[in-house]
Amino acid sequence: MRDRKPALSGLSLQDLQSALKDVPPYRGRQIFQWISRGVPSFQSMTDIPLSLRASLDRQYSLYSSSISAHLDDPDGTVKLQILLYDQERIESVLLSDGADRRTACLSAQAGCPMACVFCKTGTRGFSRNLTAGEIVEQFLYLRSFGGAIANIVIMGMGEPLLNLPELRKALAILTDPEGAGLSKRRITISTSGIVQGIRELADAGPDVRLAVSLTTADPELRERLMPVTKANPLSELKDALLYYQRRQGQRITLETVLLGGVNTREKDLQSLAQFTQGLEAIVNVIPWNPVEEVSFEGKPLREPFRNEIERFKGALEKLGLKVTQRFRKGRCVAGACGQLADFRGGESAG
């Protein structure tokens, strides 16, 4: 294993200043700013005295992880595989809309414990929570490949609300005006529906945007597709979302992965319409991206047909719901939703 000097990337400005006891606070601020710019080494911190750079280098590292692979999709998507200090691997994706709006899709955990049946990450199992530094580093690495980033979505690997303390720290660093200075309104956390976590978010922030992977609001089907439903029943999820909305006042996105022939029934439409009552919500329809390894109760899953998607969206709109559809990017690098688990060179040729 590589040497394990403590890394500075996961420290807030204040924590950095207190960690560097013998360094005046203004130097701490300079160092914080250098790290937010993603410099490769202490040596690059040109306004820090050479002796201090050398002494920092002896005691600390800037980052705890490293980029172990990188794939470019012809559509502008960049997928990075990141190697963590303990040899775990995670993935992060930079989505580009062709103009200048880039969105960083960050992971919150190595693997995921939620085991949603349609998701590749879910089939891989869970290794551990990421540290704040490991979350910040994903952002810095993606920016070093693609330039300015307008939005962050916590929609990579893992369930973010099971790692709220470290995620909070990371987002505080990324939104610090002294650092990357991202706007909270441009950050979205996506959860599979952890009731306790949604309430904590409502009570203690951060007041970023919230997306919930609902998939269906039919309790019986949802429990079979998303085991999280057992301990977090839909009625409690709805109460938590109403509470969140009272406290935060923000519109919630309800993501629904469309699984061909599975959750496109009349019952799914009706239950979704009922679930959204009283909520200020928008439904984001995500056609399922194929994942070879997964099956649902012994049967393969299939992508929804184009007319199935259109009919579903149209019917939701008729029921008075606001609907959007997620664009599919990064399919060739397997960086699309739910396909994060490992690198498969074959897909990069796509």
Q: Which does 63 bind (CB under 5 to 8 A by kind): ligand SAH, ligand SF4, none?
A: none
Q: Give contact residues for ligand SAH (rule: CB under 6 A).
A: 112, 118-119, 155, 158-159, 190-192, 213, 255, 257, 286, 288-289, 291, 337-338
91 catalytic per annotation: yes
137 catalytic per annotation: no
Spatial neighbors of 58 by CB under 8 A, at least 6 apart, are: none
Nearer to ligand SF4, 36 or 121 (CB): 121
User: Least distance in Å: CB of 308 to ligand SAH?
Assistant: 15
User: Least distance in Å: CB of 110 to ligand SF4?
Assistant: 11
Phi then psi for residue 255, to 5 deg, are -85, 135
- Which residue, among 311, 264, 253, 322, has the nearest Cα to 288 in the 3D structure? 264
Q: Which single residue is written with the structure tokens 């509470």? A: 243
Distance between CA atoms of 2 and 349, rounded to whole angstroms?
33
Nearer to ligand SAH, 109 or 131 (CB): 109
User: Least distance in Å: CB of 257 to ligand SAH?
Assistant: 4
Q: Which does 9 bind (CB under 5 to 8 A by kind): ligand SAH, ligand SF4, none?
A: none
Q: Which does 289 bind (CB under 5 to 8 A by kind): ligand SF4, ligand SAH, none?
A: ligand SAH
Which residue of this chain has its Cβ atom nearest to ligand SAH in the complex? 338
Nearer to ligand SF4, 206 or 227 (CB): 227
Distance between CA atoms of 119 and 334, rounded to whole angstroms?
12
Which residue of this chain has its Cβ atom nearest to ligand SF4 in the complex? 122
CB 10 within 8 A of CB 170: yes
Distance between CA atoms of 262 and 200, rounded to whole angstroms?
33
Q: Give contact residues for ligand SF4 (rule: CB under 6 A).
A: 112, 114-116, 119, 121-122, 157-159, 192, 213, 338
Question: What is the DSSP track for 141-209?
Answer: HHHHHH----EEEE-SSS-GGGGHHHHHHHHHHHH-TTTT---GGGEEEEES--HHHHHHHHHH----E
| List 91, 134, 159, 255, catalytic entry | 91
User: Least distance in Å: CB of 68 to ligand SAH?
Assistant: 21
Nearer to ligand SAH, 57 or 88 (CB): 88
What angle (nearest 5°) sits at the alpha carbon of residue 273, between those of residues 199 and 256? 70
User: Least distance in Å: CB of 213 to ligand SF4?
Assistant: 6
**C-beta neighbour count of 41 within 10 angstroms:** 13
Enzyme catalytic residues: 91, 337
